[in-house]
Structure 1
Amino acid sequence: MVTEVRRGPVKRAKRLFGGFVNNPVLEDYSLRYAPSGFRKWSEYGVAMAALGSIAYMADLAIGGSLAIQYGFTNAFLGILTAAIIIFLTGIPIAYYSSKYNVDVDLLTRGAGFGYLGSTITSVIYASFTFIFFALEGSVMSQAFTLFFGIPIAISYIISSLIIIPLVVFGMTALSVVQKWTNPIWISLFIIPIAAILIKDPQTVATWIHFGGKSPSGAGFDPLLWGSAAGIALSLIAQIGEQADYLRFMPKIKPAKKWKWWFAVLAAGPGWVVLGATKQLMGSFLSSIAATHGTPLANANEPIHMYITGF
């Protein structure tokens, strides 16, 4: 005789991490393909978020270092040479990343370089990002130390912790933060330059004749020009970060094709226009800082540049 046993509903333990797993904001498609259902931003919104990533201060440090090491002429020509090359090579990458909504990893595979090529691209981009973020973190930490008077080690910890929420919430958070902070950044970026030029227009002549530590002084030397261009060209991998934003570009609308193209060019290869401008500003501010008593060893640090400017 078989006895039938009736059981009530099985109670399953609620998984505490379920809310995080099912939250698409925390996923945010930080890698690979961005599906159409998630691409909710306009061309303008994506472009502004992408250009907001160029707010880093490392460009100023690079421009200042080039001016100090190679003199004005070699640094100026080297920056312009690198900018032209970076802009031209960035056009096809930006176009295909925006059209097919993929990052540089999938773009490399789609271009025929296979899994190995994709892996190498990811390693190069990751290495570039780590180094670049370390430079930017050091700039921010110097600012915290000078402003609050705290040890530099504490400033490094603060700089590292602040970025975590932005990384967790990805494009959703970045698009909002950069939309509201871009005008503030642009204002603080331009005011010192405008103040210097209005108060002392002779600083332009000081910049043009600035030789720094260069063996050729402020004059032209083909080897030093090539060295300056090579250093500036190290930023060519920045297009990988721009592609991370361009993945969220909406589809081309026939009636607004020009708008899509303008946003792609501005947010893609157009980053180098702003980047080269910042490098030139860095060389300008470093020459001003050096002539106002800042040691050459510190004149390439953005915080000292802006203290002098303000």
Structure 2
Amino acid sequence: MSTTESRLTPSEQPTSEPPKAAADQAVKETLEDYTLRFAPRSYRRWSPMVVATTALGGIAYMADFSIGAGIGLAHGTGNALVAIAVAAVVIFVTGFPLAYYGARYNIDLDLITRGSGFGYYGSVLTSVIFASFTFIFFALEGSIMAQGLKLGLGLPLWLGYLVSTLMVIPLVIYGMKALSKLQVWTTPIWLLLMVGPLVYLVATDPGTVDRFLAYAGTDGEGGVNTASVLLGAGVCLSLIAQIGEQIDYLRFMPPKTEENKRSWWTAVVMAGPGWVVLGALKQAIGVFLAVYILAEVGPAAAPEPIQQFRSAFDTMMPSWMVVPLAVVLVVISQIKINVTNAYSGSLAWTNSFTRVTRHYPGRMVFVLVNLAFALILMEADMFSFLNSILGFYSNCAIAWVVTVATDIGVNKYLLKLSPLRPEFRRGMLYAVNPVGVVAFVAASGLSIAMYFHALGDTLQPYSPVAAALIAFVLTPVMAIVTKGRYYLRRTDDGIAEPFLDGDGNPSALTLDCHVCHQPYERPDLAACVTHDAVVCSLCLSTDKVGDHVLPASA
């Protein structure tokens, strides 16, 4: 049971236990999310492979088919496949250290970002970037579902957008417990409906492969050229922030031990950076299906997954089954990903709001906020200018993820200027760490300027490369310049018991929070000098006067 919403803020209830009625109401609102905090071992009872299956179920989105189709139709199959491969390599390499830290230390990407170069308030910037990612892709998936509902049921698009938005609310309320069941049970059906038509097309008409490989794109240049590859890769790299949603599941991994280390590592790699393998495959399939149906539906409709799979199903089954099955595939895919988008987005918004205002309003408030943003984008017909949105957004996402990955891989392990264990608690971190903030702002700012042709048309395709390179170079440079002094405000949290157990996992020792009187595991607590007690991370976050915040080290 979640305790994060069953408590009042310190200013409202400084020393007494919250009323039972309020706690019961909070439990009804949400059963589990562990917003803003470490995910305790007592709750993490899933096996590594169940966590991995749940996390991979969240990438069942149809957007990959649209993204791949858009790139392929514009630049040709050769350029599209190379672009997809380049983006996949970058996403895998940068996603690996982030996934490891999320699974090993049981915290989400925002908490990792705080202690990896950004500081306690500095990571609010990236929380907003990630929240934007979730509602952009929610809108994209909702648009795809609305297209399916229009084809199958005749619903007007505006109503389809509303249906696709409202239907996820009951599912996302219940957090990890409900999401794990949903993803595990729907994944086999989704895989069968996605892979079956493709295998049938290739087996019955091998000529489709030749036509696919020979397609030159609307620019008509043919062959592979650097500008087209980078433009395509920039669109694919907008998905680099997906690792944040994967970590929202991976933080519930069980402790890594000698007995489970093989399955533990397999699950982390599969469900962490490994998501991009399936993602890249879906993008390539999107190119294939778009080329296959291009002559039938035209270039405007070819990127629509509902049209792609309707045509694919049409070749292998009776006509009366075609549209219903295509609609079922689209609806299952939309539900699987958009419960994750709504869930992860609500966590990101809540993190930012609570730190800035020091008030915790409850995650469900921001579920509705995130859905409202997504619905506005859908009603504005974002699908028609999809690649432009993703190309712009990718510059911010690349700068953020590369900065954090570089801080972990270079500053922590090579330069040893960044603390190896990620810190996230208020009072332990400086408000802003210039290492990550400067690297991120410089990388995203310059790459966005390049994307909008501010530095000339020639450099425009290179904006994602600039975002990655500037972030990769500036992150260690800033750590060296600042000598790593802005990572930790304190090195001692005032609690005598060790933070890690004998296996190097976060300790399962529980202590009672002085403010809310709830038991929490050791990593979620810090000492309170004022009252000679310990305080949990959420009560620290909502402490309006700083009464429980430890002073800075001398």
The answer to whether TM tops 0.5 is yes
CA offsets, 1:225-258, max 9 Å, x none? 1111111111111101111011100000212211
Instruction: Pick closer, same or farther for the CA change 1:16–1:158 going to 2, 3 Å.
Output: farther
Instruction: Please state how far the C-alpha of 1:164 moved relative to its aligned partner.
Output: 0.5
Q: How does 1:98-137 map to 2 (within 5 A)?
A: 98-137=103-142
Partner of 2:532: none
Work out the CA distance in 2 between the residues paired with 1:208 and 1:67.
10
Partner of 1:4: none
Instruction: Please state how far the C-alpha of 1:203 moved relative to its aligned partner.
Output: 0.4
CA offsets, 1:258-278, max 9 Å, x none? 110000000000000010000
1:305 lines up with 2:303 in the alignment: no
1:144 lines up with 2:145 in the alignment: no
Instruction: Pick closer, same or farther for the CA change 1:179–1:296 going to 2, 3 Å.
Output: same
1:260 lines up with 2:264 in the alignment: yes
Partner of 2:233: 229
1:251 lines up with 2:277 in the alignment: no
Work out the CA distance in 1 between the residues paired with 2:310 and 2:216.
22
Work out the CA distance in 1 between the residues paired with 2:220 and 2:131.
35
Maintained 8 Å contact 1:125/1:237: yes
CA offsets, 1:51-98, max 9 Å, x none? 001100000000000001111111000000000010011110000100
Q: How does 1:1-310 map to 2 (within 5 A)?
A: 18-22=23-27, 26-217=31-222, 219-291=223-295, 293-310=296-313
Instruction: Please state how far the C-alpha of 1:26 moved relative to its aligned partner.
Output: 2.3
Moved more, 151-160 or 258-267: 151-160
Instruction: Please state how far the C-alpha of 1:115 moved relative to its aligned partner.
Output: 2.1
Tell me which of the two structures has the higher relative contact order, counting C-alpha pairs closer than 8 angstroms and 6 or more residues apart. 1
Work out the CA distance in 1 between the residues paired with 2:195 and 2:312.
10
Paired amino acid for 1:150: L
Q: How many residues align?
A: 295
Instruction: Please state how far the C-alpha of 1:285 moved relative to its aligned partner.
Output: 0.5
Moved more, 116-125 or 235-244: 116-125
Maintained 8 Å contact 1:299/1:305: yes
Q: TM-score, normalised by structure 1?
A: 0.91
Instruction: Please state how far the C-alpha of 1:282 moved relative to its aligned partner.
Output: 0.4
Paired amino acid for 2:261: K
Aligned residue for 1:129, secondary structure, equals helix
Paired amino acid for 1:270: G
Maintained 8 Å contact 2:103/2:253: yes
Maintained 8 Å contact 1:28/1:172: no
Maintained 8 Å contact 2:32/2:176: no
CA offsets, 1:120-177, max 9 Å, x none? 1101101111101100000011111111112112211111111101210111111001
Paired amino acid for 2:270: A
Instruction: Please state how far the C-alpha of 1:18 moved relative to its aligned partner.
Output: 4.3
Work out the CA distance in 1 between the residues paired with 2:28 and 2:162.
28
Maintained 8 Å contact 1:32/1:105: no
If each structure's helix is expressed as a fraction of its own residues, which one has the higher value?
1
Work out the CA distance in 1 between the residues paired with 2:79 and 2:168.
36
**Cα RMSD (Å) of the superposition?**
1.6
Instruction: Please state how far the C-alpha of 1:30 moved relative to its aligned partner.
Output: 4.5
CA offsets, 1:14-59, max 9 Å, x none? 9866423145952332454211111111101100000001100000
Aligned residue for 2:58, secondary structure, equals helix
Work out the CA distance in 1 between the residues paired with 2:36 and 2:304.
33
Paired amino acid for 2:46: W
Instruction: Pick closer, same or farther for the CA change 1:31–1:285 going to 2, 3 Å.
Output: farther
Q: TM-score, normalised by structure 2?
A: 0.52
Paired amino acid for 1:191: G
Aligned residue for 2:216, secondary structure, equals coil
Aligned residue for 2:273, secondary structure, equals coil
Maintained 8 Å contact 2:32/2:177: no
Instruction: Please state how far the C-alpha of 1:210 moved relative to its aligned partner.
Output: 1.1
Work out the CA distance in 1 between the residues paired with 2:100 and 2:60.
23
Maintained 8 Å contact 2:36/2:111: no
Gaps of 5+ in 1: 1-13
Work out the CA distance in 1 between the residues paired with 2:253 and 2:35.
14
Instruction: Pick closer, same or farther for the CA change 1:174–1:93 going to 2, 3 Å.
Output: same
Aligned residue for 1:55, secondary structure, equals coil
Aligned residue for 1:255, secondary structure, equals coil
Work out the CA distance in 1 between the residues paired with 2:201 and 2:26.
52
Aligned residue for 1:36, secondary structure, equals coil
Work out the CA distance in 2 between the residues paired with 1:222 and 1:51.
32
Maintained 8 Å contact 1:46/1:249: yes
Aligned residue for 1:66, secondary structure, equals helix
Paired amino acid for 2:230: G
Aligned residue for 1:253, secondary structure, equals coil
Work out the CA distance in 2 between the residues paired with 1:82 and 1:260.
26
Work out the CA distance in 2 between the residues paired with 1:41 and 1:23.
23
